[in-house]
């Protein structure tokens, strides 16, 4: 099995965290998210602790994907992209479809959050 480069994983997690922060900011989809989900976004007050926990979540996602890539001996970027898309379809997208069906989550909210997860799959 390929050796895991933990520094690369850490840097990828930082990049994914920064992108996700921008993704939910008014610069990208933050304004849209606030419009389609005003109750949640009004109540959301990010703090240092929240940011730290979110970075931890992103680091775990990045580490798991890196380990799966290593375990499957994925050596080229095309295979890595295919795996990322499959993981996103099989987990994130499928769960959001369930949230739309069973929890009545607005599809626009699901699309916004699922897009963030798609980007994290590529970290």
**Over the stretch 19-66, which tens digit does the pLDDT of each residue have?**
988 888 778 777 776 777 666 656 566 778 888 998 999 999 999 999
Statement: the pTM of the whole predicted model exceeds 0.85: no
Q: Over range 71-86, report the average pLDDT.
A: 90
Taking residue 19's Cβ as centre, other Cβ atoms within 10 Å add up to 17
Q: Could you tell me the two tokens for 40? A: 């949640």
DSSP per position, 30-68 = HHHHHHH-HHHHHH----HHHHHHHHHHHHHHHHHHHHH
> Alpha-carbon distance 1 to 72, whole Å?
8
pLDDT, position 120:
83
H/E element, 17? helix 6-23
pLDDT, position 39:
60
pLDDT, position 43:
57
């Amino acid at each position: 099995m390929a050796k895991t480069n933990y520094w690369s994983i850490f840097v990828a997690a930082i990049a994914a965290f920064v992108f996700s922060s921008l993704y939910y900011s008014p610069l990208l989809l933050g304004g849209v998210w606030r419009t389609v989900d005003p109750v949640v976004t009004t109540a959301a007050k990010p703090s240092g602790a929240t940011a730290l926990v979110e970075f931890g979540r992103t680091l775990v996602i990045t580490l798991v994907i890196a380990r799966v890539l290593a375990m499957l001996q994925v050596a080229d970027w095309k295979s890595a992209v295919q795996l990322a898309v499959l993981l996103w379809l099989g987990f994130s997208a499928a769960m959001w479809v369930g949230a739309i069906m069973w929890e009545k989550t607005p599809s626009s909210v699901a699309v916004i959050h699922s897009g963030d997860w798609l980007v994290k799959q590529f970290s």
